[in-house]
Structure 1
């Protein structure tokens, strides 16, 4: 009996979930069906791939070796499927976007994409950076819009635009804070509102302020910028607002005011990433240009409305 791609995908699901029930739910099969496929795989390889425990399973040494090979095989299959799609008339692109970019950039870029190529089938996944990088590595998405360091192993990164941070809060709170608050390192940690852990924007805000999360006492675990801006507009604190979000969040929170930080203004670099091993094609360069154009439009509006 030969191994199948289905067995490899079931194997990886079980290796990641470490539980037969969760793995079966993830790949949309019954638990007995998944168990049977894993047993057949072990018989084919003449190896025990998992240690079975009452509440979880763990990879054996042989299982870890199979995991490395299975990931490479499925990544190659994904690349083959992507290449086949690119030769067809309708090209599907699976794009991941971080949550502090997606609600603002996508409404601007989608009309550009439609005008450029109405046959392109764009599927968007919104998730935090670590989830997107993992999905990119596994071949589950073709590209990702992230705010990342200059280099990430195994990825090709194309800079799109620089997104500066604004200080947002109720007018009375910003005025009371004075010009000293326009230096990030001088911000009062008692008044700083942050996104939940896992959002790179929160980490970037803490970094430019020279703080750690324990110092930010108004860490409310918010999962969206809209929530933070609503709280800030009510006078519950101040937060970092990216320029691309300024127009939308300012309209959604009438009590919200913004100030521009002193020079040098803190900023994040928005990038488009793909796997370095994947073959470059026109869609990636086209997508990068359109994302950059949309980003420059949004940041330009913010810079015109909120001068230094």
Structure 2
């Protein structure tokens, strides 16, 4: 059974004439007639009643022709999908991003990407670093934006930017008038941290080794937004990435104090599978990041 034979029987059913059907299919009448007869022999049924002046489908022939039309439509859909795949910047791109980056980077990134690849919308998956690694490996997402280190077999990374850490304190805190803070000064039970399992928590603990690790849930938050609100409420101080402290995320109830150089920071990178078939999509994302003008990010692309 071939698609060509399906086209022949559909044409014959519509034109009710071997000569007109052959003309439509750009073949000779004997070629079309022999092909349809061979197809009927293969199926073991007569698809058409052949009269002197007209050819008409049999009852079973009508059903076969209807199915042939659906099959040809689906075959054309396959061709269209494949044709669309030739343009690497056309069609959705599945982008994973960690919680501490997504809300602060994506508004700028999406806006910049629309100007570079308008036919490539992003499908966003916000998740933990470990989950994004699994989603990349299983081909459930195409690329991910994560904080380094991100060492996963079969995954390539490309640094995007460095993001400085800053100290946040409630208004009226003793540190509010300070020009800068040393990492070793960030210590004590009043330091608010993200819950265990979040890579940014680990980065803060690496940058400020004197931080105690209280177990009380009062001192732990599920998100940077929660930590920011806890600081504003006077529950303690914290260390947050610079991008999460600009407008509209900052507020009048907290004060932001820079670290003394060398300033602790994190390196944010793009990650994708070895052999990913849309390298131009990677280039488009890199170009979108490179086009962003933001003092909170030290661009590396």
State the TM-score bracket (shorter-chain normalisation): 0.5 to 0.7
Aligned twin of 1:278: 276
Using a 3 Å threshold, how does the CA distance of structure 1 residues 92 and 176 change in structure 2: closer, same or farther?
closer
TM-score normalised according to structure 2 size: 0.64
Distance between the aligned counterparts of 1:178 and 1:218, measured in 2?
29
Q: CA deviation at 1:265?
A: 0.4
1:299 to 285, 291, 296: 296
Q: What SS does structure 1 have at the residue aligned with 2:219? A: strand
Aligned twin of 1:245: 244
Matches within 5 A, 1:66-77: none
Using a 3 Å threshold, how does the CA distance of structure 1 residues 169 and 176 change in structure 2: closer, same or farther?
closer
Q: Which moved more, 1:183-192 or 1:262-271?
A: 183-192
Is the contact between residue 192 and residue 216 of structure 1 (CA under 8 Å) also seen in structure 2? no
Distance between the aligned counterparts of 2:91 and 2:265, measured in 1?
34
Distance between the aligned counterparts of 2:135 and 2:82, measured in 1?
18
Q: Which moved more, 1:266-275 or 1:219-228?
A: 219-228
Aligned twin of 1:122: 122
Number of residues of Structure 1 aligned to a counterpart in Structure 2: 217
Distance between the aligned counterparts of 2:212 and 2:132, measured in 1?
23
Once the two structures are superposed, residues 54-98 of structure 1 have per-residue CA deviations (whole angstroms, 9 ceiling, x without a partner) of xxxxxxxxxxxxxxxxxxxxxxxxxxxx99864257322100011
Distance between the aligned counterparts of 1:183 and 1:283, measured in 2?
41
RMSD: 2.8
Q: What SS does structure 2 have at the residue aligned with 1:248? A: coil
Once the two structures are superposed, residues 172-220 of structure 1 have per-residue CA deviations (whole angstroms, 9 ceiling, x without a partner) of 22527967x8122221231111112221111110111115773576763
- Larger fraction in helix: 1
Q: Which consecutive unaligned segments of at least 5 residues does structure 2 have?
A: 1-80
Aligned twin of 1:264: 262
Distance between the aligned counterparts of 2:277 and 2:254, measured in 1?
45
Q: Relative CO higher for 1 or 2, CA cutoff 8 Å, sep ≥ 6?
A: 2
Matches within 5 A, 1:1-308: 86-88=85-87, 90-149=90-149, 151-175=151-175, 182-210=181-209, 214-215=213-214, 220-248=219-247, 250-251=249-250, 253-279=251-277, 281-294=279-292, 297-299=294-296
TM-score normalised according to structure 1 size: 0.63
Using a 3 Å threshold, how does the CA distance of structure 1 residues 216 and 171 change in structure 2: closer, same or farther?
farther
Distance between the aligned counterparts of 1:147 and 1:83, measured in 2?
34
Is the contact between residue 190 and residue 218 of structure 1 (CA under 8 Å) also seen in structure 2? no
Q: Which consecutive unaligned segments of at least 5 residues does structure 1 have?
A: 1-81, 302-308
Using a 3 Å threshold, how does the CA distance of structure 1 residues 176 and 91 change in structure 2: closer, same or farther?
closer
Using a 3 Å threshold, how does the CA distance of structure 1 residues 159 and 86 change in structure 2: closer, same or farther?
farther
**Which protein is bigger by CA-based radius of gyration?**
2
Q: Which moved more, 1:160-169 or 1:116-125?
A: 116-125
Using a 3 Å threshold, how does the CA distance of structure 1 residues 193 and 177 change in structure 2: closer, same or farther?
farther
